Amino acid sequence: MEYIFKCLPLELVNMILQHNIQKIEEIRIRAEKPVIINLGNMEIVLKYVVTAAEILNIMQNICNNSVYAYQNQISSGFITLPGGNRVGISGNVVVKDNVVTNISYIYSLNFRISHQIKGASDELIRYILDTKNNSIYNSLIVSPPGCGKTTIIRDLTKKLSDGIPEINFKGINVCVVDERGEIAALNRGIAYNDVGIRTDILDNLPKSVGIRMAVRSMAPKVIVADEIGNKDDVDIINYAACSGVGCIFTAHGYSMEDLLKSNEISQILNLKIIKRVIFLDEKVRGKIKNVINI
Partner 1 sequence: MIFIKTTLLFLVFGTISAIGIKISNGYKIRAHNLKQIKKGLKILETKVAYTYEQLPDIFIDISHKIEGSVGKLFFDTGTRMQLEFAGEAWEKCINDSKIYLDYEDKEALKSLGKLLGKTDIQGQLNQISLVNNFLDEQIKEAVESKEKNEKMYKKLGVIVGLAVVIVLV
**Residue 71 or 76: which CB sits closer to partner 1?**
71
Q: Using the rule CB under 8 A, which residue among 22, 66, 98, 293 binds partner 1?
A: 66
Q: Using the rule CB under 8 A, which residue among 13, 44, 46, 67 binds partner 1?
A: 67
Question: Does the footprint of partner 1 cover residue 68 (CB under 8 A)?
Answer: yes
Q: Which of these, 53, 57, 46, 59, lies nearest to 12 by C-alpha position?
A: 46
Question: Does the footprint of partner 1 cover residue 93 (CB under 8 A)?
Answer: no
Helix 263-270 / helix 233-242 crossing angle, nearest 10 deg = 20
Measured distance CA(224)–CA(205) in Å, rounded: 14
Site for partner 1 in 18-57 (CB under 8 A): 56-57
Backbone angles phi, psi at 199, to 5 degrees: -105, 130
**Residue 6 or 118: which CB sits closer to partner 1?**
6
Question: Does the footprint of partner 1 cover residue 65 (CB under 8 A)?
Answer: yes
Q: CA angle 51-104-98, nearest 5°? A: 145
Neighbours of 174 (CB within 10 A): 29
Question: Does the footprint of partner 1 cover residue 10 (CB under 8 A)?
Answer: no
Strands 78-80 and 135-136: unpaired
Question: Does the footprint of partner 1 cover residue 189 (CB under 8 A)?
Answer: no
**Residue 4 or 277: which CB sits closer to partner 1?**
4
Sole window of 17-25, 64-72, 79-87, 270-278 interacting with partner 1 (rule: CB under 8 A): 64-72
Lay out the site mask for partner 1 across 97-116 (x = CB under 8 A, - = otherwise).
Answer: -----x--------------
Q: How many residues does the chain have?
A: 294
What's the min distance (Å) between Cβ of 112 and partner 1? 22
Question: Does the footprint of partner 1 cover residue 71 (CB under 8 A)?
Answer: yes
CA distance to 13, 28, 36, 72, 269, per residue, from 61 (Å):
14, 16, 20, 17, 44
What does the binding site for partner 1 look like in residue numbers (CB under 8 A)? 56-57, 60, 63-69, 71, 102
